[in-house]
Amino acid sequence: MEALDIRATNDTPKVLLDPENDVFEISGRSLPEDVVSFYQPVLDWLDEYKEHPLEITEFVFKYIYFNTATSKLVQDILIKLEEIHETGNKVQVVWFYEEDDEDMLDLGEEFSENVDIPFEIIAY
């Protein structure tokens, strides 16, 4: 399966989904004008990936900031990861947040309660 590699801009995060190198990460700021069209390739990629996932998938979120519209799409990504987990494959979500960013910590905790997958929240 081909990697999905989207470069970061001032308003969009870096996305690297690369099973060959065991890298699944979204990082940066997410304020796209059209959040659905930005994240649709990620959701489509995950739909294809869940047909033949790795035995262990560690998915890293390292957002600096995201808008409310992005929040819904993050939840959609987590639901797809939960579907992979439900098929017996191991999925681990790692949610990084800047140590003094209480909002991003709270969001990580909230997301972790909404899905039934291992979820680690780490300050950096």
Q: List, for residues 72-101, the tens digit of each pLDDT value.
A: 999 999 999 999 999 999 999 999 999 999
Q: How confident is the model at residue 120 (pLDDT cuts 50, 70, 90)?
A: very high
Domain architecture of the chain: domains with CATH: 4-123 (3.30.750)
Residue-wise pLDDT for 42-66, tens only, equals 999 999 999 999 999 999 999 999 9
- 48 CB neighbour count, 10 Å cutoff: 11
Give exposure, 54-82, as e/b (b: 16+ Cβ within 10 Å): beebbbbbbbeebeebbeebbebbbebbe
What is the overall mean pLDDT for the chain?
A: 97
The pLDDT, as a whole number, for residue 11 is 97
Which residues partner with 123 through β-bridges?
97
Q: Whole-prediction pTM value?
A: 0.96
